[in-house]
Amino acid sequence: MAYSEDDLKQDLVDQEYEFGFTTDVDSEKIPKGLTEETVRIISSKKEEPEWLLEYRLNALRVFQGMTEPDWAHVTYEKPNLQDIVFYSAPKPKKELASLDEVDPEILKTMERLGISLEEQKKLTGVAVDFVMDSVSVATSFKEKLGELGVIFCSFSEAVKEHPELVKKYLGTVVPSTDNYYAALNSAVFSDGSFCYIPKGTKCPMELSTYFRINESGTGQFERTLLIADEGSYVSYLEGCTAPQRDENQLHAAVVELIALDDAEIKYSTVQNWYPGDKNGLGGVFNFVTKRGICQRNAKISWTQVETGSAITWKYPSCILKGDNSVGEFYSVAVTNNHQMADTGTKMLHIGKNTKSTIISKGISAGMSHNSYRGLVKIGKGADNARNFSQCDSLLMTDTCGAHTYPYIECENSSAHLEHEATTSKIGEDQKFYCMQRGIGEEKAISLIVNGYAKEVLNKLPMEFAVEAQKLLEISLEGSVG
């Protein structure tokens, strides 16, 4: 008998979170809640210098004067900050010289995620900075990178080893006054990644970080700072998965990219935090501020595949300050069940001859809501600026929603801006054509959706593209309405 829509719906409902498991590692936590004391504890535990403590405390003061924002089409119960543990580091926390020293439980976790360090090392030559509940556990390929002068380490390590760089650039792209969650992050960030590519260096391998939220009730506040010095190039991968949890977990990261003259940064994300169950229970709140600044002739390219989180609020942005700089944003966002995603980008054209491209593909299924929200601003001095935006939405069920809110502001007559958006149902003709050729409905949908997202998936580095494709398939299995 034919695979009916009801079967498909049932499949969807039954589909469990593939990576939903918890690693059994002792964690060292500090008491719940957010006060000046919390901030001081975090800072002292990490043995931070005075200036950084000051930075955190300033941010805390800013934060305390702010109110949590409300957004259209994203409704949720606001996380109670007093109920969150702001710091949790896996124990034992000691310097690790090689992977062998990593807790076998953690290695097992990684294996189940299909990202075992060994495998990755062997097969792809990727250097991985693995972050488990905010503290960097193992960093590989460090020496090899060291020879080139590339610094790739945990944020706390950078504070100790390269304070001058951290001090110079921290908060220059995302000031702690930027928004509610950026202020929060600036006050309590636990750890993250730091990366510096020296002048004229082309980083020979993809740098990669895997984030995972492990400890129940832990807020995760990573901080990433990436500096590409003049004429350098780096491709950075960031992947996230979180184990299944019944209570909502807050994730408020800040990522700052600095591309100096003639530098190029390619930043790719595959985000698969736990989305909550079919009833909308649990799941990660993903409130992230990502922004990069481009100096002369520099280029920043954001690519993201977002399939996870109960709520995603994320606008990787580019400040195109230098003349001839280029910003790109390629995004695929899939929402299913009760997920809500509000994502997009901001392209701020300041320099002359700046160019930006935005390709956004939203796919909504179940009862989810998927919104694109973006800003393209052409400043007065941005002569000959160019922007092209294409925002498409694909609807899988009659219970989901897809929304598009682009803001286009142009203050310079020599600019050229083009924005296009479409919303439509998955094509019946296409489905039937596939089926006539013997491709079943499920497979047909996955084929069509992957084709639809191709433009973006193509921008991902090879190793990621396969995983992303798999994630799309998993998130949409049986999502026919």
Binding residues vs other proteins (CB under 8 A): 2-3, 73, 393, 395-425, 427, 429-430, 432-441, 443, 447-448, 450-455, 481
Task: Give the nearest distance from C-beta 461 to other proteins in angstroms.
Answer: 19
* Chain centroid offset of residue 441 CA: 31
For residue 368, the minimal CB distance to other proteins (Å) is 12
Q: Closest approach of Cβ 66 to other proteins, in Å?
A: 15
CB contact at 8 A, 395 and 361? no
Considering the complex, state which of residue 251 and residue 361 has its C-beta at the smaller distance from other proteins.
Answer: 361
The DSSP call for residue 317 is: E
Sign, CA torsion 29/31/33/39 = negative
The phi and psi torsions of 30 (rounded to 5 degrees) equal -105, 165
CB of 398 to other proteins, least distance (A): 5
- Could you tell me the smallest distance in angstroms from the CB atom of residue 343 to other proteins? 15
CB of 458 to other proteins, least distance (A): 9
- In the complex with other proteins, the residue whose CB is nearer, 163 or 406, is 406
Residue 479, phi then psi, degrees to nearest 5: -90, 35
Shortest distance in whole angstroms from residue 369 CB to other proteins: 9
User: Which residues share a beta bridge with 291?
Assistant: 256, 317
Residue number, 295 or 393, with CB nearest to other proteins: 393
Calpha distance 215→218 (Å, rounded) = 6
Q: CB nearer to other proteins: give 234 or 382.
A: 382
Region of residue 324 (left: phi > 0; alpha: psi -120 to 50; beta: else): left
Q: State which residue, 107 or 476, has the beta carbon closest to other proteins.
A: 476
Cis peptide before 406 (omega within 30 of 0): no
Looking at beta carbons only, is 99 or 421 nearer to other proteins? 421
- For other proteins, give the closer residue by CB, 10 or 82: 10
C-beta of 178: minimal distance to other proteins in Å? 18
Find, among 233, 223, 298, the residue nearest to 259 by Cα: 298
Handedness of CA 130, 133, 134, 138 (dihedral sign): negative
Instruction: Give the count of alpha carbons within 13 A of 111, CB side only.
Output: 8
Kindly state the smallest distance separating residue 399's Cβ from other proteins, in Å.
Answer: 8
Closest to other proteins by CB, 51 vs 71, is 71
How close are the terminal C-alpha atoms of the chain, in Å? Answer: 19
With respect to other proteins, which residue has the nearer C-beta, 72 or 168? Answer: 72
User: Whole-angstrom Cα distance, residue 26 to residue 215?
Assistant: 10
Nearby residues of 350 by Cβ (< 8 Å), 6 or more positions away: 319, 320, 321, 379, 381, 382
* Vertex 180: Cα angle to 174 and 183 (nearest 5): 50
**What Rg value do the Cα atoms of the chain yield, rounded?**
22
Residue closer to other proteins by CB (options 323, 441) is 441
Min CB(348)–other proteins separation in Å: 14
- 34 vs 127: CA distance, rounded Å: 34
Check if the beta carbon of residue 247 is closer than 8 Å to that of residue 216: yes
